[in-house]
Structure 1
Amino acid sequence: MTEILVLYYSRHGGTQKMARLLARGVESTGAIARLRTVPELAFVDEGCPHESVSTVKSDDPYVSLEDLKACHGLALGSPVRFGNMAAPLKHFIDSTSKAWLEGTLIGKPAMVFNSGSMLHGGQETTLQSMMLPLLHHGMVIVGLPHSESALHTTSGGGSPYGPSHVNVEGHRQPDNDEKNLAIAAGKRLADIATKLRH
């Protein structure tokens, strides 16, 4: 059976919500979604001490290199941090040299997703920058085609680069377009992974 690794880091819950929606799309195809996260990094920003610890409680296990070997596809999700992925997720990606040397991810499809706190806050550059290490791993990047009608109506997150959520005050939950795009992305990734397996 096709297994998709949905790997994410979430500080305030927006990216975790998107991960759950993507997993729903994966499972709608009959594939298995393996939700995994990464540990928090121990750092304190003296100017913003509340930012040193995640406010999200997750029942999802921490990812391992074995999860990378076992998966047939990968969805990678992060909050937007100055146009890049968050440091805890990048820290894990930086630890995957062994998987890179072994070619663990070569030929497997991958998709990226994120959540940010403001419109035009760097969602698209974050999605693009998250693709770079996946390309180094030899993965096949999967985006969202314009046949997804929600790409034409969204006033929040979502782009051809991947699903996203704009987590602004009053919109703590992904809106209908963001939900539909996340579910469609999970389905598309699982379908492509299944085709590539066969």
Structure 2
Amino acid sequence: MSQVVLILYYSRHGATQAMANSIALGVEKSGLEARLRCVPEVSNNIANDQHSVPHSGDPYVVKQDLEDCCALALGSPTRFGNMAAPLKYFLDDTSAQWLAGTLENKPACVFTSTSSMHGGQETTLLTMMIPLLHHGMVLCGLPYSNPELHTTLTGGSPYGATHLAQGDNKNKLSTDEQKLCVAQGQRLAKLAAKLDT
């Protein structure tokens, strides 16, 4: 079995990246390797050229990362109750991996951040699951055995880890949000080990 959990995300102001880092911590606490990857911006200006390497942060994802992983954590800020266009753009170009069954039977989870309490966290998580189901992945959320789901006043959902950023990442991850991200990473890694065939 591959020992690599791919944590693939898009982050505009750093909140989703902070969540990805906490999920990676949970993955590594469970003994697997976390591979953090992001996607480039999408521009409506066709004259804009995208750099092949990001100026800072994690490297851009390549299709081989999907082949190499034993599990996937997919994260995006909320855009009108759905994932952001850069992440959707990448997923829309994975037909070859879908036809080959590259992600079939691998566990996956989703995570998101929003700028307001009712900014569409749960609809974003649910709609992010749809392409993963088409790829044949096994989805996992966060069970209520995580006590933070009962007490959080910020982010947190049984559908996946969430964060309330309040605009341009004015809020850092709360203690509850951070614990839920770590728990999400641990659960994903444990399921990857159990599903290894």
- Per the normalisation by structure 2, the TM-score is 0.91
Structure 1: gaps of 5 or more residues:
45-55
Match of 1:188 in 2: 187
CA distance in 1 between counterparts of 2:44 and 2:189 reads 36
Residue identity matched to 1:2 = Q
- Aligned-CA RMSD value: 1.5
Secondary structure class of the residue paired with 2:41? coil
Match of 1:156 in 2: 154
Residue identity matched to 1:163 = A
Secondary structure class of the residue paired with 1:80? strand
Residue identity matched to 1:92 = F
CA distance in 1 between counterparts of 2:92 and 2:172 reads 31
Match of 2:30 in 1: 29
Secondary structure class of the residue paired with 2:104? coil
Alpha-carbon displacement from aligned partner over 1:8-58 (angstroms, at most 9, x marks no partner): 0000111000000000000001100000000111126xxxxxxxxxxx964
Match of 1:18 in 2: 19
Match of 1:176 in 2: 175
Residue identity matched to 2:190 = D
Q: Deviation of residue 59 (structure 1)?
A: 2.4
Return 24-33 or 170-179, whichever deviates more.
Answer: 170-179
Match of 1:117 in 2: 115
Q: Deviation of residue 168 (structure 1)?
A: 1.4
- Per the normalisation by structure 1, the TM-score is 0.91
Match of 1:132 in 2: 130
Alpha-carbon displacement from aligned partner over 1:123-173 (angstroms, at most 9, x marks no partner): 000000000000000000000000000000011111000001000169520
Task: Sort the Cα spacing of 1:65 and 1:2 in 2 relative to 1 into closer, same or farther, 3 A.
Answer: same
